[in-house]
Structure 1
Amino acid sequence: MDSSYIQVTPIKQSKIDTVDFNKLDFGRVFSDYMFECDYKNGEWQTPVIKPYGPISLDPSARVFHYGQAVFEGMKAYKDDNDDIFLFRPDENLKRINKSSERLAMPAFPENYFFDGLTKLLHLEKNWIKKGFGNSLYIRPFVIATQPAISASPSEDYKFMIILSPAQAYYAGEVRVLFAEKYSRSANGGVGFAKAAGNYAAQFFPTSLAHKKGYQQIIWTDANTHEYLEEAGTMNIFFRIGDKLITAPNNDRILDGITRKSIIQLAKDNGIEIEVRPVSVAEIKDAARKGELKEIFGTGTAAVINPIVGFGHSEEDFELPKLEKSYASFFKEKLMNIQYNKSQDPYGWRVKI
């Protein structure tokens, strides 16, 4: 891997000593450097790494008017020997390019992505703290930068990577509301893409759920609102008895990297798993019978987030507190791979 073509503009002084790594507010503190690459005249230009700071855009940049913006979420981990690892980074590159294609944006070259990310992480290695749960959150994103307000795809783009130190994510007790009116996405839409607008569209219905005492929404299908699909920024799993169930991927559901890892771990650890449509009626019925043991969300930030209860049609249900939950089992298995504390038979862990 040769990253010598990537020009680095050195920082004058690191700000790392001003950061309290024991009191991090997720996604609000950023490291010293950022990666940047512009797309002009039909091709990606030579990437650069420069001090983290504001970028200048014309007020008519198409991203502001037509929403051409996609992003990814990744993490870098450091083991006890100070070695740095990524988790399935090839999947993140595939997905950001898949998202870009759906929004008529150009794919980003694989060598630029991995050379740039590797060089960036080596520069910022001191921002990756050891310890189970500590990580450096990685946010690659692409925006349309051409100054023009005609309703057509941009001709210019900017690909960037910024880094934010993170501690173990704990959301407290999470109760969810099953959606009955609003939808996250529809057939033929952009639900499968990590498009910025998908998340903006969630904020209002989620704020209504907050007022009712719920922390998140589990989105249902747009046509009937009868089938459970995704929770907020997470994929969702249900445990009925000893069986694990999750909704299948479609053009409404994000192809979560943590999700597909959990499915593989379940298969290899003797846990019965079904990937199929999951109805609201089925889950409510299982809860009434005492057969619904767990609901948990999966994603990069939280890894696995247990859900303690849910509401639907003015009914509320509490889930049992389990000593040996699937959620804790999978979280430990997955994090042991990520932090190089166990064998990785899948080749998911990539040393930087």
Structure 2
Amino acid sequence: MIARRSLPFSLPRTACAALSAAILLTAAAPAIGAVESDRTKRYTLGSHHGPYMVMVAAIHPLRGGNDTGLTPAEAADRVCWELRDQGIPAYVYAMNTETQSLVTLSPDGQEKERLMATMRGGVCVLAGNFKTADDKIAQKLLKHIKTKVKCPTLEPEAATGGFVRTKGGGFFQATNGRPRSALSRAFVTVNPLLDSAQLQRLRKINDPLLVRLNSGEEYGLHKCKGNYSVVVKEFRGRTLTQVSGTKSADVGERVDVSGDLSEAGREAWELCQILRNRENQEAYVWHDRHRSVVTIGSFSSPKDPEAVRTARKWAAKPADTGVPTPVTVAVPKGERDIRKAERYWLLEVTPYAMPVPNM
């Protein structure tokens, strides 16, 4: 069944042009200029799009088939072209599961998870490329699509039995109190191709304690441009706790940090400096309530070949005794006898990739 959304169009050409330009300036598009709309092409959604987008329409096959209208793929392509004709970068995404979870976001950044009930053959149309859910242009685009954009394929043609038939041969359910438009239920979501770690990075850390601990770090892990970095050393402390009786408004100022945790933070900072200044490594530091970690590198995923090579490079090496020997970073450089070293650190036996936090 085609569950679509669409609307009559009356926005002045100058306003359309201004909105299109604004969308392009915030988009992750390869170039600034007119949005391409080629009827011979399918504009397929990729993981590099977004990460925040407007879900324009989710088109499902009609139970029992539909001999008179377009297939979901044909309808999605047409809607995509029609949006692009109006300067809106749009993409199609084929759903291949019975149900799919999507994270939707309100203008104030509140997340809600909704299940899209789908059947094989369903296709979505998404539009825009925005860095945040509350991006002003994203919210303007959402309103524009819901109230002004006209997609002829989804334009209402006739109503019957509680359903509205579109000019593309599809149907959407008429709802009391809503406009007779297939586009009126558009919403902001995240790119459905992003994995759980990438989604986690999109969610900003709102713990004031972690913000306080990490905001002053010159090489804080949150400044890493990749999605992942490889942990080469963990420094475990005790805990970081809120002082009894504090309120949320002052929690960032009244924190009880154990001496062990403070020492872990200092150790991590010192190791990071040595890795950067002496070993020429892209090292970062991250502090949380129970530990401080030092990481190396910036990678797109934990399976990135460079991430794998980095983990292997800094992993413990086999020894004749059968017990792996951890890599040692010592001061002075090259000192193998830790009893003679001024400072030394034994790195993790098995380094691992961790998602880069968003702060």
Give the TM interval when normalised to the shorter protein. under 0.3
TM-score, length basis structure 1: 0.25
| Higher Rg | 2
TM-score, length basis structure 2: 0.25
